[in-house]
Structure 1
Amino acid sequence: MAKTTAGIDIAVTPDRVWQLMGGFGSLPDWLPYIADSTLSEGGRVRSLTNEEGDVIVERLEAFDNEARTYTYSILQAPFPVTAYRSTLTVKEVAGARSRVEWSGTFTPAGTSQEEAVTLFHDIYTQGLAALKSTLGA
């Protein structure tokens, strides 16, 4: 099983960051390459459409509003991995700042571990940079 983690410090409060990104259907609000998100199954499954028109279906596995974290798994996606599970977390750091971390574990399928790790690390890093930009921080 492979894993990767990316993090970013943002000069806004954790509550403000969580307000933007904490909803399971909110990816299009801050992640530019996700054009649409539709929730189903009482908000526990999201169907995402990326800018190329690919569909990614994810299931919410755990959600903790107080701790500002959620974990999800991929049910369907055009990625060369299986057993994908990811967590997004917003932590408070000194001075009304936030630390956002995005981590994932997965099993490469039809690609090397290094290529799969690079793919998701780049997604996480670029996504967190977009989050910071969206917040104007």
Structure 2
Amino acid sequence: MATIHRDVPIDAAPEEIWAAIRDWGEVHHKLAPGFVTDTRVEGDVRLVTFEDGTLVHELIVSLDDDARRIAYAVVGGSLNVFHHHASMQVFAEAGGRSRFVWIIDVQPHSLAEPIAAMVDQGIRTIRKTLEATAAPAS
């Protein structure tokens, strides 16, 4: 199994970032527009379509407002994985900034590199989106 771990600063308040992540059916509007082109919710599963046409069905495993953390597992779609579990979490930093942590465990190991590339592209989009919509620090 491979683990992909990304930890990046974002110039936005943790409450703003968490609000975008927590609205888990609006990824294509509030978190990663363009990188994610559509998100639909069916019960506890969200169907996420990426710009390259990849479709994943993600089971929401945990949504923790106190920890500002979401965990999900890929349970279907066009991504051919044996195992995929991920979490996103937001931490407060000094000066109204935040730290965004995204961890993905995936099998087979051969998918680690292409998924890491998608994660890196996603983080660039997420950071740009959230920093552009952030309220000015007071």
TM-score (norm 1): 0.86
The number of equivalent residue pairs is 130
Determine the structure 2 residue equivalent to 1:55.
Answer: 55
- Is structure 2 residue 124 aligned with structure 1 residue 124? no
Structure 1 residue 47 displacement after superposition: 1.1
Matches for 1:61-80 after TM superposition, within 5 Å: 61-80=61-80
Determine the structure 1 residue equivalent to 2:128.
Answer: 133
Structure 1 residue 49 displacement after superposition: 2.1
For residues 118 and 54 of structure 2, the distance between their equivalents in structure 1, rounded to whole angstroms, comes to 15
Cα 1:5–1:24 change in 2 (3 A) is: same
28-37 or 88-97, which moves further after superposition? 28-37
Structure 1 residue 120 displacement after superposition: 1.9
For residues 66 and 52 of structure 1, the distance between their equivalents in structure 2, rounded to whole angstroms, comes to 34
23-32 or 84-93, which moves further after superposition? 23-32
For residues 99 and 87 of structure 2, the distance between their equivalents in structure 1, rounded to whole angstroms, comes to 14
Determine the structure 1 residue equivalent to 2:39.
Answer: 37
- Is structure 2 residue 17 aligned with structure 1 residue 22? no
For residues 33 and 12 of structure 1, the distance between their equivalents in structure 2, rounded to whole angstroms, comes to 20
Identity of aligned residues (%): 24
For the aligned residue pairs, the C-alpha RMSD in angstroms reads: 1.6
The one-letter code of the counterpart of 2:41 is: L
For residues 34 and 92 of structure 1, the distance between their equivalents in structure 2, rounded to whole angstroms, comes to 26
TM-score (norm 2): 0.85
Determine the structure 1 residue equivalent to 2:107.
Answer: 107
Contact 2:56/2:79 (8 A) holds in 1: no
Structure 1 residue 77 displacement after superposition: 3.0
Structure 1 residue 96 displacement after superposition: 1.0
Structure 1 residue 95 displacement after superposition: 1.4
Contact 1:62/1:70 (8 A) holds in 2: yes
Contact 1:33/1:50 (8 A) holds in 2: yes
